[in-house]
Structure 1
Amino acid sequence: MQHLPKMAVMVLLTVLCIPAIAQKLKLTEGDPGVLKGQQQLNVEFTYDHLSVGKDSEADYIRKKTTEYNNKEAGKGDTWAKAWKDDRPTRYEPKFDSLFNDNGDLKAGNFPDATYTLIFHTTFIEPGFNVGVARKNSYIDAEAIIVETANRDKVVAKITVDNAPGRMMGFDFDTGMRITESYAVAAKKLAKFLQK
């Protein structure tokens, strides 16, 4: 190792010391077996009381907006808009797409479906990639399956912990990393519901 530059050694040690994040799904209430035989699943996304890193989402947005605006006028405002816009344009379509690719049940905007999956994101770790160092994103969420006609009738609740956004290479964009977290969550959840 003494032939490697100090920076390369530091990066290698950092990567080796980062604990592996494994996604966990756990049924906490009910029985998703009622979905057997269903063709479609209505999906809705909620982000109430969301934490980002060590902050509430509002505090995180405020800090990042100020930080980016201090570097370049308007950059923070553009970032804050993209932070919210990524939900309907990136995260949610990717979730539906990967869910559909990994199960027989088709998920999406199906308001006439018998059941609705409310995917409630509770935590986002946005991660980072600065070239010489990186940290994967991950999300925590609760998947709540309800009767579409009677939202108070909860059929099942499943916790989704540590859905990683593992990407290699040029994932410098926060939205790209987080989108991958939603893709992984959808893929695993679709398979979980098929069991």
Structure 2
Amino acid sequence: MKRYLTLVLAIVCTTVYAQKIKVEQGSFDFIAGQKEVNVVFDYDSMKLMKENFTNEEYISKRSADLEEKARGKGKTWEKAWNSSRELIWNPKFLELINKYLGEKEGMYFAEDLTDAKYTLIVETVWLYPGWDAGIMKQHAKVTTNLKFVETANKDNILLEVSSKNAPGDQWGNNYSNESRVGEGYAKTAKTLAKLILKKAF
């Protein structure tokens, strides 16, 4: 009976929450023929966890919790968390969107392509890092607004797509919050790329 309950808990805790993607406004007409797209990652209004912590609140709480377990652990985690955008999350998104749209349509997405006609703004709305306790785990979740704008006039939104609860995990165990969130960005990029392939080409 105990083994059965453990198995049930494992199944419940590893359930993948369905990603919801929706076109909020605009059309895909401008995309065909573009070879380069500038990308801007915006984390300014990001919230975390069910409590909707600001990034600063989340860092303060988690760092303090880890410091209680082992001195220095919180500060080490804080450095990893603060660097994860540049080292994991942004590269994961770019890797996957270029894999699908680069190989199939010859498009290239990257930061600092200021001469590109259009810019994709990846605005992070909400994150849940998930957790992994060996036999039981929960995927990370990443919610974003994806806005294609004119590079020269970012107020002109040509296409806006919302992506809710993109799941982040890997096969096997993944004990890194930062890595799990990175997989959520990879899933976001993959889903967006497939939507563009379907609607624009």
Alignment TM-score, normalising by the size of structure 2: 0.89
1:16 maps onto 2:11 in alignment: yes
Instruction: Please name the residue that 1:88 is paired with.
Output: 86
Tell me which amino acid in the other structure corresponds to 2:110.
G
Following the alignment from structure 2 to structure 1, what is the Cα–Cα distance between the partners of residues 127 and 5?
Answer: 27
Cα distance in 2 for residues equivalent to 1:30 and 1:55: 29
Cα offsets for 1:105-153 (capped at 9, x unmatched): 2111222110000000111110000113210111000001110011111
Q: Structure 1: any 5+ residue segments left out of the alignment? A: none
Structure 1 residue 168: deviation in Å?
2.6
| Secondary structure class of the residue paired with 1:60 | helix
Note if contact 1:142-1:159 (Cα within 8 Å) is conserved in structure 2: yes
> What amino acid maps onto 1:77 in structure 2?
K
Count of matched residue positions in the alignment of Structure 1 and Structure 2: 190
**Alignment map for 1:105-184 (pairs within 5 Å):** 105-109=107-111, 110-184=113-187
Partners of 1:166 and 1:22 in 2: CA distance:
13
Instruction: Name the counterpart of 2:47.
Output: 51
* Partners of 1:150 and 1:33 in 2: CA distance: 18
Is 1:36 matched up with 2:32? Answer: yes
Question: Which has the higher mean CA deviation after the structures are superposed, 34-43 or 11-20?
Answer: 11-20
Whether the 8 Å CA contact 2:10–2:135 is kept in 1: the answer is no
Q: Does structure 2 conserve the Cα–Cα contact (< 8 Å) formed by 1:65 and 1:79? A: yes
Displacement of 1:69: 1.1
The root-mean-square deviation of aligned C-alpha atoms, in Å, is: 1.4
**AA aligned opposite 1:70:** E
1:16 Cα deviation (Å)? 3.2
Kindly indicate whether the alpha-carbon contact (under 8 Å) linking 1:33 and 1:193 is maintained by their aligned counterparts in 2.
no
Aligned pair in 2 of structure 1 residues 20, 97: CA closer, same or farther (>3 Å)? closer
The answer to whether the 8 A contact 1:96-1:108 is kept is yes
Residue number in structure 2 paired with 1:66: 64
Map Cα deviations across residues 153-194 of structure 1 (whole Å, 9 max, x no partner): 111110011110132322001111111111111011111122
Q: Kindly provide the amino acid, as one letter, of the partner of residue 39 in structure 1.
A: K
Moved over 6 A (4+): none
